[in-house]
Every structure is written in structure tokens, then in C-alpha cells.
């Protein structure tokens, strides 16, 4: 349900002899959200998924899925989860419809008409209704991934765990998969790992970044893209900006102004301590100066890739 906690971990850890695959992971995933789980190879993403699914046991800490303990109640938890591996496998001679009817047969015991209706709904959800009766052998990579999502979704799961759902796809295939994930938000919670940062930035509500088995960043996508350190504005000015810089810098809600001037154009990066006051007064203060023309003004938006690289490279430098 929206607003409910679907996944909760507290100090979740896993070690293999002297190798700490996951250390002290504490996070929450909210219902009907899309949660992006990021990290370089070997960061601990797959280990976390295995722990949540009850396929391996933690060394320390623990967690719950749907309020049930991931160790004691793993069988019950898995009955409410759909899972997509990075490279789903199919019987090539079968059609998409036949595949889903085969899988649905493990979950639904009742009139075949209801099973067929569920399969048709799922095919429509992932955009494969027009290719439902063609052999999978001729499917593109994107179509296979969408069929994999359909297969994971056919049993009405409360949580979808997807491992690199758009990996190795061309831009069109990735677009189609992302479109499906957006649709699924209405029906379930999506927890997916990926290394394609642009995709995460487009559709995720919340993001966690692992590095060397530890949680390096965690929060809403808006918070991360704001830099995680407060609100920052970017301003471009024409004219004499010296007096305006003094006035703006004297405001109690301005933390710092970094100014660069070249060819009669001044660019400011303004860090503010009070977002509400800055939104109300910063632009007005600049427009009141007759010696200035404001050509650009807006909140700074960081790219997720920049934040990710800072975290990963910072961790490497700290070895």
C-alpha cells in the first residue's frame, strides 16, 4: 500500500570469512514506489537481494519484508514477490502467451478462462499484446525483458525485485522497459538494481548507493540531485554585479556566493541556508538593481552520475 513500509533493514550484514560483502545496511522501501539500488560491481547489491529473498542468511542484523522476518518467514515472503534475473531464459519455441499461461499455472488454480484473462492483462501491461502468439525466438532484447517483467508480474506480486532490467538494451529497448516500470507503480512496489544512472534519474522515487558493501548515499531522488548539502542557485548576470554581490551576501539566508566574471558576464553559484527565504527574495533582490540584467536564474540540479562518481572515487581514494 502507498505510504507503508515494504522493506526494512537494520544493520544487515553478510561476511564470507574475511570478506565483508555487506556491512550494516539500514534502509526502508515504501509501498508503490520505484526504488533504485545502485553501486559498482562487487558493491553488495546481489548479496542484499539474496538476503531479502531468504536465499542466504545474514551474519549480523536483520530485516523485514511486508513486516515479516527475512529469516523466519522467507517462504511466505517469496510467495508475494516477483523476481526478474538480469538475463531471463525462455523456451524459444513457445509464444509469450504460452509462456505466461505455463507460469500462471503454478499460481492460479481455477477456471482456465480466468487464467487466460490474467495473461492477456499482463501482456497488455508490458506492451506485448500484438506479439503475444509469436515464438519468443524472434523477440528483440527489449521484448524479452518486457516478457521477463510480465512473467514476474503475472502472480500479482506485492513487490518486484528486478536485477538490471534494462542492461544490454539499446535506447529504444530501455525506454520501453522504463515505461513498463512506470505503469507498474500503480500495482506494486519496484526494487531494482542497475548501473544505468540516467534511467534511475528518470523514474526512481528513492535511491540507495552502495560502495564496498556499505551504504554511501540514501534518500529521495530530489534530495540527491540537489547535492544533499542544501539548496544551491545558479545565476547569470550582465552589468556591474559587485554591489549586488555585497547585498546578497549580507542576507542571513545566504551561506556563500561563488562568483566568476568573464567578458562582462558574471556567474554566481549561491548556497542558501533557508530555501523558503531564497525562493521569495533572491530573484527579487537582483531584479531591483538597475545596473544588472538577469539572463539566467534557477536551482542547481546535479546529475546523478556526478554524485555517483564522487562517492565511488572518494571511496577508492580512501583505501
Instruction: Tell me the pLDDT tens digit for each residue of 40-79.
Output: 888 899 899 999 999 999 999 999 999 999 999 999 999 9
* All cell numbers assigned to 179: 515505461
Identify the DSSP state of 95.
B
Contacts of 70 (CB under 8 A, 6+ apart): 51, 52, 54, 58, 62, 63, 64, 77
Number of helical (H) and strand (E) elements in the chain, helices listed first:
11, 14
Provide the phi-psi class of 3: left if phi over 0, else alpha when psi is between -120 and 50, else beta. left
**Direct distance between the N- and C-terminal alpha carbons of the chain, in angstroms, rounded to an integer:** 42
Residue with cell 534557477: 298
Identify the DSSP state of 129.
G
The Cα 205–Cα 93 span in angstroms is 38
Instruction: Tell me the pLDDT tens digit for each residue of 186-240.
Output: 899 999 998 778 888 888 999 999 988 999 889 888 777 765 556 889 999 999 9
The Cα 243–Cα 79 span in angstroms is 66
Identify the DSSP state of 20.
E
Indicate the range of 178-182, 206-210, 313-317 predicted with least confidence: 313-317
For 15, 79, 126, 135, 173, the CA distances from 138, given in Å and listed in that order, are 43, 31, 17, 6, 15
Under the banding of pLDDT at 50, 70 and 90, the label for residue 1 is low
Instruction: Tell me the pLDDT tens digit for each residue of 256-279.
Output: 999 999 988 999 999 899 989 999
The Cα 62–Cα 194 span in angstroms is 24
Residues in the chain: 319
For 96, 119, 138, 215, 218, the CA distances from 91, given in Å and listed in that order, are 10, 17, 12, 38, 39
Cross-strand pairs, 260: 267
Q: Is 230 exposed, middle or buried (0-12, 13-18, 19+ CB in 10 A)?
A: middle
Which architecture characterizes domain 231-299 according to CATH? 2-Layer Sandwich (3.30)
Instruction: Tell the CATH superfamily of the 5-225 domain.
Output: P-loop containing nucleotide triphosphate hydrolases (3.40.50.300)
| DSSP assignments along 130-155, one per residue | GGTTSBGGG--HHHHHHHHHHHHHTT
Q: Which residues make up the CATH 3.40.50.300 domain(s) of the chain?
A: 5-225
Query: For the whole prediction, is pTM greater than 0.95?
Result: no
Contacts of 302 (CB under 8 A, 6+ apart): 224, 225, 226, 227
- pLDDT for 2 equals 60
Amino acid at each position: 500500500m502507498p505510504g507503508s513500509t515494504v522493506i526494512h533493514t537494520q544493520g544487515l550484514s553478510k561476511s564470507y570469512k574475511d570478506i565483508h560483502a555487506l556491512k550494516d545496511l539500514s534502509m526502508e522501501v515504501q509501498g508503490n514506489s520505484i526504488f533504485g539500488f545502485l553501486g559498482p560491481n562487487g558493491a553488495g547489491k546481489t548479496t542484499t537481494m539474496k538476503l531479502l529473498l531468504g536465499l542466504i542468511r545474514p551474519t549480523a542484523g536483520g530485516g523485514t519484508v511486508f513486516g515479516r522476518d527475512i529469516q523466519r518467514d522467507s517462504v511466505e515472503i517469496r510467495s508475494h514477490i516477483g523476481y526478474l534475473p538480469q538475463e531471463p531464459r525462455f523456451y524459444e519455441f513457445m509464444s509469450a502467451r504460452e509462456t505466461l499461461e505455463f507460469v500462471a499455472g503454478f499460481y492460479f488454480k481455477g477456471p482456465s478462462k480466468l487464467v487466460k484473462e490474467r495473461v492477456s492483462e499482463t501482456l497488455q501491461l508490458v506492451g506485448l499484446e500484438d506479439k503475444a502468439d509469436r515464438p519468443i525466438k524472434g523477440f528483440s532484447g527489449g521484448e524479452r525483458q518486457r516478457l521477463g517483467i510480465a512473467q514476474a508480474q503475472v502472480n500479482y506480486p506485492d513487490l518486484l525485485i528486478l536485477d538490471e532490467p534494462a542492461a544490454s538494451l539499446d535506447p529504444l529497448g530501455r525506454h520501453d522497459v522504463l515505461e513498463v516500470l512506470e505503469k507498474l507503480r500503480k500495482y506494486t512496489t519496484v526494487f531494482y538494481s542497475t548501473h544505468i544512472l540516467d534511467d534511475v534519474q528518470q523514474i526512481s522515487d528513492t535511491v540507495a548507493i552502495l560502495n564496498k558493501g556499505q551504504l554511501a548515499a540514501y534518500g529521495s531522488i530530489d534530495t540527491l540531485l540537489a547535492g544533499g548539502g542544501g539548496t544551491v542557485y545558479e545565476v547569470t548576470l550582465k552589468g556591474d554585479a559587485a554591489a549586488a554581490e555585497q547585498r546578497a551576501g549580507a542576507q542571513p539566508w545566504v551561506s556563500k556566493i561563488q562568483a566568476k566574471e568573464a567578458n562582462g558576464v558574471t556567474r554566481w553559484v549561491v548556497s542558501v541556508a533557508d530555501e523558503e527565504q531564497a525562493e521569495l527574495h533572491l530573484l527579487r533582490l537582483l531584479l531591483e538593481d538597475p545596473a544588472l540584467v538577469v539572463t539566467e536564474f534557477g536551482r542547481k540540479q546535479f546529475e546523478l552520475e556526478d554524485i555517483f562518481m564522487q562517492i565511488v572515487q572518494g571511496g577508492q581514494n580512501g583505501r
